[in-house]
Amino acid sequence: MISDITIGQYYGGSSAVHRLDPRVKIILTTLFIVIIFLCKNFLSLAAMFVLTAASILISRVPFRMFFKSLKPILPIILLTAVLNIFYIKKGTVLWSFWIVTITTGGLATAFFMAVRIICLIMCSSLLTYTTTPTDLTDAIERLLSPLKVLHIQVHTLAMMMTLALRFIPTLIEEIERITNAQKARGADFESGGFLQRVKAMLPVLIPLFVSAFRRAYELSFAMTCRCYHGGEGRTRMKQMRVHAADFVALALFAVVMAGVIVLNHFFGKMI
Amino acid sequence: MNDYIQFQNVTFAYEIEGEAPKPVLKDFSLNVYAGEFVAVLGHNGCGKSTVAKLCNGIELPQKGKVLVDGLDTADEEKLLTIRQRVGMVFQNPDNQIVATIVEDDVAFGPENLGVDPSEIRRRVDDALKRVDMYDFRRFEPHNLSGGQKQRVAIAGVIAMQPACIVLDEPTAMLDPRGRKDVMETVKMLNREHGITVVLITHYMDEAAQADRVVVMDHGKVLLDGTPRQVFARGETLKQAGLDVPQATALAALLQRDGLDVPADVLTVDELADAIAAAKR
């Protein structure tokens, strides 16, 4: 049941996308999100859609994985689409009844928004599908390292993320063990209303917290024993190097970004 | 033989707020010699885990001194050096693995010491090969068995190139197979790589594999000698709440019933040979 949760949802592979420097991938994804909000008409959106589709094809991550990540967002996509259809009154009226009016402008906007959200989700999923959680935290630490100047503890934050990732499977196992132990003593997790079920979870949560604190205590001992003393003077076994492919990807995104701005400028604003 | 770790008249008590301090070690003295494999035995609450924590300055004695290779653990400037030289392995493998990938975890210690990246790579590969976990280097720790996780933890310690490893009940949470693998690894590190081993345990058969056994009771050393010398004192051990290895216990019973077997056998094989010899 709960052990099905995949953390970081990494989908192994050795494609060009997988092999990109994780830092570059984070920068590209951020760029992508910025550009997709700059899109003002269907042509520029189409350019972004092609970029998304091409990246997915190159990554060789199967499409069903992306459908899986879209599923939980589907209600939000539908809701925004419906709201746009009903609220935007532009262009020709297609259908009108009482206070409800559907226009071509409304339909177009609804479609535009839906595609925008889908591209957004697909692109950020692509980042997590092709990068291991460890690489992601490492890359975040390295990207944010200039913030050290502002006395922000970048290393500590990254270490906390790594430890959280490390202990998620361990704590899930623990939840299952405690749940089974409480079931064996006659605890009932399935019946009753919402409030009752929440209450039934307390005998699971309390031992879980107690044990999590004990683990934290032991882990800090173990880390001290292994000479951990913060980020000062610490080296890393795995170095990150930017390769030619990373520059190609960056250049490609820059071109698309320029293209979007040009298309926005010459073909009018729709949104 | 040179002393590697010296406990000099150590007194230690845990301070719990609102309660009188409960002394754990009283005027405790012990020398661990360089290159030896010493097992520390004792029932729960006799202070043996405290001994482990004193070895690398995690806890400091209230009275007396702990010296590691001549360095005082109370000297804060020497702590990193001491912790690099005396590695520590704990009971629960889950609570000492830091990274989400085996090889990254083994690299954690050397990374903290500021070792050069290419040298870390070499040490990590070497350490994983030594504990026979090299094939699992890209695994996630939660997909390994308890014994495998504990061997990863040991690899993480040897990647720091310590002179001594202190293991605090490393097999208590493992199945028999995992226990055997961990014990084989520990013995190999001692015999082949000359690493001093302090094994804290409550398993008699594990202690029997050491060069020297120290039995603790009420914060003091009760018995100290080779496994044969120590396990021949069955009555004293019983008073300390401990048993002798099963083979030794059986030998004592056979001897009482008039069979001519020595009282200091330690393993099943030795006992079988002794019985065969006595019957001949």
Inter-chain CB proximity B98 and A229 less than 8 Å? no
Same-domain status, A252 and A198: no
Instruction: Name the residue of chain B whose CA is nearest to A163's CA.
Output: B98
Residue B172 lies in a domain: yes
Helix (H), strand (E) counts: chain B: 11, 10
Asked whether residue A2 carries a pLDDT value surpassing 50, the answer given is no
Residue A216 lies in a domain: yes
Q: Could you read off the pLDDT of A47-96 as tens digits, one per residue?
A: 899 999 999 999 898 888 888 888 888 999 999 988 888 887 777 777 77
Mutation to test the A interface, candidates B68, B79, B112, most A Cβ within 10 Å: B112
Asked whether residue A3 carries a pLDDT value surpassing 60, the answer given is no
Residues of B in contact with A133 (CB under 8 A): 100
> Could you tell me the two tokens for A262?
């040009």
Give residue A5's pLDDT.
Answer: 45
Of residues A134 and A221, more confidently modeled = A221
Asked whether residue B20 carries a pLDDT value surpassing 80, the answer given is no
Residues 6+ apart with CB under 8 A from B84: A227, B109, B113, B160, B161, B162
Residues of B in contact with A227 (CB under 8 A): 80, 83-84, 109, 112-113, 160
**Which of A142, A238, A138 has the alpha carbon at shortest distance from B117?**
A238
Same-domain status, A259 and A215: no
Residue B174 lies in a domain: yes
Instruction: Name the residue of chain B whose CA is nearest to A237's CA.
Output: B117
Residue A235 lies in a domain: no
One-letter amino acid at A124 equals: S
Name the domain count of chain B. Answer: 1
Point out the least confidently predicted range of A91-105, A147-161, B84-98, B178-192: A91-105
Residue B40 lies in a domain: yes
Looking at residues B192-219, what average pLDDT do you find? 91
Residue B271 lies in a domain: no
Residue B242 lies in a domain: no
Contacts of A54-58 with C-beta under 8 Å, sequence gap 24+, read A55/A17, A55/A123, A55/A126, A56/A122, A56/A126, A58/A15, A58/A16, A58/A17
Looking at residues A37-41, what average pLDDT do you find? 86
Residue B268 lies in a domain: no
**Which of B265, B243, B239 has the alpha carbon at shortest distance from B254?**
B265
Residue A262 lies in a domain: yes
Give residue A271's pLDDT.
Answer: 61
Same-domain status, A124 and A192: no
Same-domain status, A206 and A82: no
Inter-chain CB proximity B100 and A166 less than 8 Å? yes
Residues of A in contact with B142 (CB under 8 A): 169-170, 173
Q: How far apart are CA B25 and CA B31, in angstroms?
A: 15
Q: Could you read off the pLDDT of A233-243 as tens digits, one per residue?
A: 888 888 888 88
> What range defines the domain where residue A38 resides?
8-132+240-266
Asked whether residue A99 carries a pLDDT value surpassing 80, the answer given is no
Secondary structure E strands in chain B: 3-14, 22-33, 37-41, 63-68, 71-72, 86-89, 164-168, 196-201, 212-217, 220-225
Same-domain status, A39 and A159: no
Same-domain status, A121 and A150: no
Asked whether residue B38 carries a pLDDT value surpassing 70, the answer given is yes
Same-domain status, A200 and A153: yes
Q: Model pTM greater than 0.90?
A: no
Looking at residues A12-22, what average pLDDT do you find? 86
From the list A162, A222, A227, the residue facing B90 with the nearest CB is A222
Banded pLDDT at B153 (limits 50, 70, 90): very high
Same-domain status, A112 and A186: no
From the list B53, B96, B104, the residue facing A134 with the nearest CB is B104
Residue B200 lies in a domain: yes
Name the domain count of chain A. Answer: 2
ipTM of the predicted assembly exceeds 0.90: no
Give residue B1's pLDDT.
Answer: 61
Instruction: Name the residue of chain B whose CA is nearest to A216's CA.
Output: B95
Residues 6+ apart with CB under 8 A from B163: B4, B34, B69, B85, B86, B195, B196
> Could you tell me the two tokens for B51?
């001994």
Whole-number average pLDDT of chain A: 86
Same-domain status, A102 and A209: no
Residue A233 lies in a domain: no
Contact B12, B25 (CB under 8 A): yes
> What range defines the domain where residue B197 resides?
3-227
Is B11 in a helix, a strand, or coil?
strand
Banded pLDDT at A4 (limits 50, 70, 90): very low
Same-domain status, A63 and A102: yes
The secondary structure element, H or E, covering residue A195 is helix A194-225
Q: Could you read off the pLDDT of A122-178 as tens digits, one per residue?
A: 998 899 889 888 788 889 888 988 888 888 888 888 899 889 888 888 898 899 999
Q: Give the sheet arrangement for strand B71-72, strand by strand.
A: B22-33, B3-14, B63-68, B71-72
Give residue B256's pLDDT.
Answer: 84
Residues of B in contact with A169 (CB under 8 A): 140, 142
**CATH number for position B96:** 3.40.50.300
Which DSSP symbol is given to A6?
Answer: P
Inter-chain CB proximity B98 and A169 less than 8 Å? no
Residue B29 lies in a domain: yes
> Could you tell me the two tokens for A195?
């409030």
Residue A152 lies in a domain: yes
Angle at A206 between CA A205 and CA A210, to 5 degrees: 115
Residue A141 lies in a domain: no
Asked whether residue B100 carries a pLDDT value surpassing 90, the answer given is no
